[in-house]
Amino acid sequence: MKLKELFFESLSTLTLNKTRTALAVLGIIIGIGSVIALMSLGQATQKSIQNQIESLGSNLLTVQPGASRSSSGVRSAPGSNTSLTLADAQAISSSSEINTVNLVSPEYSSRSQIITSQGNSNTQVVGVVPEYAIVRKISIADGSFITQSDVDTLKKVAVIGPTVVANLFPDGSDPIGQNIKINGQNLVVIGVTIAKGGTGFNNQDDVVYVPLSTAQKQLFGSNYLTSIALEAKSADLMVTAQDEVGYFLLTRHKISDPANADFSILSQQDMINTITSTTATFTTLLAGVAAISLLVGGIGIMNIMLVTVTERTREIGLRKALGAKKKIITTQFLIESIILTFVGGFLGIIFGITTAFVISQVTSSLFIISPSSIFLAFFVSTLIGILFGWYPAKKAANLEPIEALRYE
């Protein structure tokens, strides 16, 4: 019997019981679709976070204070130390030992309640210098950014993000020139930034920028920095810049052992690598959970094929009595199983892509479908057809003709 004839005979057999065939295919559709949709969700999440990190700045290095220790030796959270000062930032900027850093941006950040006549909001307040806009890729939609004159004169001015505008000026009025109150101090809004996106505490649009000197001396009464942002001259010099700045600060802070450093330097690539590793694990876990439904679908197909073997026992016996070889019987049942999983895999790919697209539209997230996930879907669906169809096919082929013909 030719393979083509076996194929069409298998199709004819499967269409005899449409409901059972449809239920078998449905298990594969759900399994394949779930794997593709969840892998898409994980990859979109990874790409979205990576884009947010990259939007923070180009060739970015961030120097942060280390963890402080109490007199009893208890270590606090990273960044709790007060080891970084404006003098450190100025020394880095002017040092002849550091040749790989283009710009230096000292920063002081703290959350505070912002109040206007129309509303209030608990918002991140960041004390900055003019270089901040370049290092952190901040663009102005209206008005102007903080200038060096504003920093030198402790000017009470502020640049606010779009989310802050919506919270503090819900009537839609122009915020430029209006007053906002931070820790009892009135500041005049001089600019509004272009939206960059983000959520929760990482929302880059929910920020108020003020002159660094104003933040330290008038709003929060602090003489230290919460971070120093550095822009390396090129991506290739990131590691070198990290080393140069690290050793420079160790010498400046009179620390001989790097293990006792009272600061840490985090590169943009470090953050991306960490996030990529975490989200890759997350994506793998999601795909693993979805793969369980594929396994269930495969077992369902095997059960249905076993039922089919039982129902067609007399037919198998008659065919073997007329000279049909084991190979023909095995091949036909395998073809039936592969048709089920192949059709289920194809429809599952459509289902998975559609589901991923709908999720991206509902959540306003990225829509990413990797070719590898589609290839994996086809491969897995075919493999399931072979693996879970082999046992029923062998069982059918091994039936003795006389016993099969006697089967009631």
345-380 per-position pLDDT tens digit: 888 888 888 988 888 888 777 788 878 777 777 777
User: Which percentage of the chain shows pLDDT scores above 70?
Assistant: 74
User: In the listed set 211, 232, 261, which residue is the last one of a domain according to the structure?
Assistant: 261
Buried b (16+ CB within 10 A) or exposed e, 193-229: beebebeeeebbbbbbbbbbbbbbebbbeeeebbbbb
Confidence label for 168 from pLDDT (cuts 50, 70 and 90): very high
Q: What pTM was estimated for this model as a whole? A: 0.62
Query: Higher pLDDT residue, 25 or 88?
Result: 88
> In the prediction, which pLDDT does 187 show?
95
151: number of Cβ within 10 Å = 19
Q: What's the average model confidence in pLDDT over 30-55?
A: 75
Predicted confidence (pLDDT) at residue 72 exceeds the cutoff of 70: no
> In the prediction, which pLDDT does 230 show?
92
Buried b (16+ CB within 10 A) or exposed e, 333-347: bbbbbbbbbbbbbbb
Per-residue pLDDT tens over the stretch 319-331: 666 666 767 777 7
Please check whether residue 357 lies inside any domain of the structure. Answer: yes
Q: Which two tokens stand for residue 264?
A: 């840490």
Domain housing 112: 84-261
Most confident of 145-159, 163-177, 325-339: 145-159
Q: Are residues 164 and 37 in the same domain?
A: no
Instruction: Check: CB of residue 41 under 8 Å from CB of residue 359.
Output: yes
Burial class (CB in 10 A: 0-12, 13-18, 19+), 348: buried
Q: Which residues contact 34 (CB under 8 A, 6 or more apart)?
A: 290, 293, 294, 352
User: In the listed set 198, 233, 261, which residue is the last one of a domain according to the structure?
Assistant: 261
Please check whether residue 67 lies inside any domain of the structure. Answer: no
Please check whether residue 59 lies inside any domain of the structure. Answer: no
Please check whether residue 79 lies inside any domain of the structure. Answer: no
> In the prediction, which pLDDT does 74 show?
43
Please check whether residue 373 lies inside any domain of the structure. Answer: yes
Q: Are residues 317 and 393 in the same domain?
A: yes
Q: Are residues 286 and 402 in the same domain?
A: yes
User: In the listed set 261, 295, 324, which residue is the last one of a domain according to the structure?
Assistant: 261
> In the prediction, which pLDDT does 310 show?
66
Q: Are residues 289 and 394 in the same domain?
A: yes
Per-residue pLDDT tens over the stretch 194-249: 988 665 456 788 999 999 999 999 999 999 999 999 988 887 888 898 899 999 99
Q: Are residues 231 and 90 in the same domain?
A: yes
Predicted confidence (pLDDT) at residue 124 exceeds the cutoff of 60: yes
- The mean pLDDT of the chain is 80
Please check whether residue 58 lies inside any domain of the structure. Answer: no
Q: Are residues 288 and 397 in the same domain?
A: yes
Predicted confidence (pLDDT) at residue 408 exceeds the cutoff of 70: no
Predicted confidence (pLDDT) at residue 182 exceeds the cutoff of 60: yes
Q: Are residues 318 and 256 in the same domain?
A: no
Instruction: Check: CB of residue 57 under 8 Å from CB of residue 231.
Output: yes
Q: Are residues 237 and 171 in the same domain?
A: yes
> In the prediction, which pLDDT does 131 show?
93
Please check whether residue 20 lies inside any domain of the structure. Answer: yes
The total of structural domains in the chain comes to 2
Q: Are residues 240 and 306 in the same domain?
A: no
Query: Higher pLDDT residue, 308 or 185?
Result: 185
Half-sphere exposure of 328 (CA within 13 A, CB side): 14
Q: Are residues 169 and 286 in the same domain?
A: no
Distance CA 260, CA 242 (A): 17
Predicted confidence (pLDDT) at residue 57 exceeds the cutoff of 60: no
> In the prediction, which pLDDT does 406 show?
56
Query: Higher pLDDT residue, 266 or 147?
Result: 147
> In the prediction, which pLDDT does 8 show?
66
